[in-house]
Amino acid sequence: MSTPSISTAIRNSLEILAISDKSTGIKAKFGDDLNRVDRYSLDFGQFYMDMSKTHISQELISIYMEFADEIDFVGKREALLAGERVNNSENRSVLHTLLRDTENQGISMSDDDVLAQAKASKAQFVDQYHQIQGQLSKREHSIKDIIHVGIGGSSLGTQLVFEALKDLNSSIKVHFIGNIDAHQLVDVLSQCELASTLVIGVSKTFTTAETLQNLDSIASWFKTGGVSNPLAHFFGVTAAPSKAHDYGIPANNVVSFPNWVGGRYSVWSSVSLSAALVIGIEKFEEFLSGAAALDKHFYTQNLESNGCFLAAMLDHYYVNFLDVKSRAIFAYDYRLRSLVDYLQQLETESNGKDRQRDGGPVDQQTSPVVWGGVGTDVQHSVFQMLHQGTSLIPSEFILVRDPDHKLIDHHQELLANGLAQTAALLEGQDKAQIDNIHAQDGLTDLAKKAKIFTGERPSTTILLDRLTPKTLGALLAFYEHRTFCFGVFANINSYDQMGVELGKRLATQVKPLLESGQAQKSAEVFDPSTLSLLNKVRNS
């Protein structure tokens, strides 16, 4: 039997507060505290966050401060930074912050050699970046397209960085291929010209089945185009250089990163080579420095004013005490269109767990479903559910004050919509207001009742002055540390991902069974439903 992750006293306090919050709502909190906006807003330097439209309160913070003491939150934060083996199921340290701050905020590491590895890795990436740029400058045809082949953490962060930070008039397009579905591959290849295309394969182990199969198919495309040795023109990014060499990537074309870099935390490493080649190494360094600045906030700020701690506190409170099942994130900037996909992996792969750190079953809810989209598109689809649906869904709005284009009317309309949605979610409208607004419109009573919005829907607004390498780095680091904090509250290991393994293993058993003559081998392995589906696929 696992030790309870939340003491009875803390749980009781939060349950009592939740009853009060459900009955009084959020709007009343503004009336009770005229300084509420200032009290619950934080300026991180790189961006500003307003949490006043949520259920945050001094009472809630006080309870979580007691909770933090009980679970030694500060000690766990120090253990993370000191390089202790916080990934206990795999007996590994979690060291990705070293990629953006090789001085480690001045905190002593449990293994001094790791700092040297981090510095060497960062210097090696810069050196290899310049070498590759030198190679590209000697090509007969300039690069117009980069095909980045990788899946999950080997792609999502890099795609986000590329889309967010590339110049609007960039002459190079990066195509990201992760899916094994060849429809994606065929579509990409149809847009590229052989002579002006660069291929970068990214895999930590360089054994990822989907990545290698996609690379094989791209190599065949090169051969069809008359290139006798396609792999001589490919680059590989990996923590296992020997595996890339064995595959056929020339040694000079292999870019490595440390084995301790986790997949969903690898955006800070040479995994982002394709994005760095487009935006430039200087901007990539700024991206790292923005994250390091946020790291300093998380590591040094007192918990009661620590934005990562407070955001995770709200996440945990909503999921476990206010019956919340999901959290929505809306980026009101087209350049951040891949942010939700990135954060889905970061948060749900990290905290979608049903095992406590000691291996016993959890005694609380862990990760909510993370979803969302890009404003204003989503206002004409999912926002109906946000405003009038039966589920309480805390929402986050990410806005950028100053655009990088000159169509100011467009941007003002974009910002107006984002700000208005947060106000509408909070305020709602009752029958009396509707009667007044539509007094001359001749609406039926039924139509008026259909326009009732209860309001009291929580939202957080994150405002960036501009979308720059530094602000993007800080934003992603904020979400990383927030994810860690939630994992500490839930007493789970945020750094393994055992749940993805079974499906992968079974896929290797299913594939041979799709071939004719293999039907009998499946009977002892799979359930009746899967057997039936296998037969239908085979017989089609």
CA distance 174 to 138: 20
Which part of the chain is CATH 3.40.50.10490? 8-70+301-494, 106-285
Look at residues 94, 101, 92 and name the one whose alpha carbon lies nearest to residue 121: 101
pLDDT in tens, 321-371: 999 999 999 999 999 999 999 999 999 999 999 999 999 999 999 999 999
Categorize the per-residue pLDDT at 104 as very low, low, confident or very high, splitting at 50, 70 and 90.
confident
Q: Is 349 a catalytic residue?
A: yes
> Which of 349, 396, 456, 480 is flagged as catalytic?
349
> Which class does domain 8-70+301-494 fall in?
alpha beta
Check if 456 is active-site.
Answer: no
Task: State the pLDDT at residue 491.
Answer: 97
Pairing of strands 197-202, 234-238: parallel
pLDDT of residue 520: 54
Q: Is 148 a catalytic residue?
A: no
pLDDT digits (tens, 9 = 90+) for 401-450: 999 999 999 999 999 999 999 999 999 999 999 999 999 999 999 999 99
**Mean pLDDT across the chain, nearest whole number?**
93
Catalytic, out of 138, 140, 183, 380: 380
- Residue 526 pLDDT level (bands cut at 50, 70, 90): confident
pLDDT tens per residue, range 443-453: 999 999 999 99
- What per-residue confidence (pLDDT) applies to 165? 98
Could you tell me which of 134, 221, 213 has the C-alpha nearest to residue 180? 213
Output the CA torsion sign for 20, 312, 336, 208. Answer: negative
Given CATH 1.10.540.10, say whether it is the number of domain 106-285: no
What's the confidence (pLDDT) of residue 197?
95
Residue 518 pLDDT exceeds 60: no
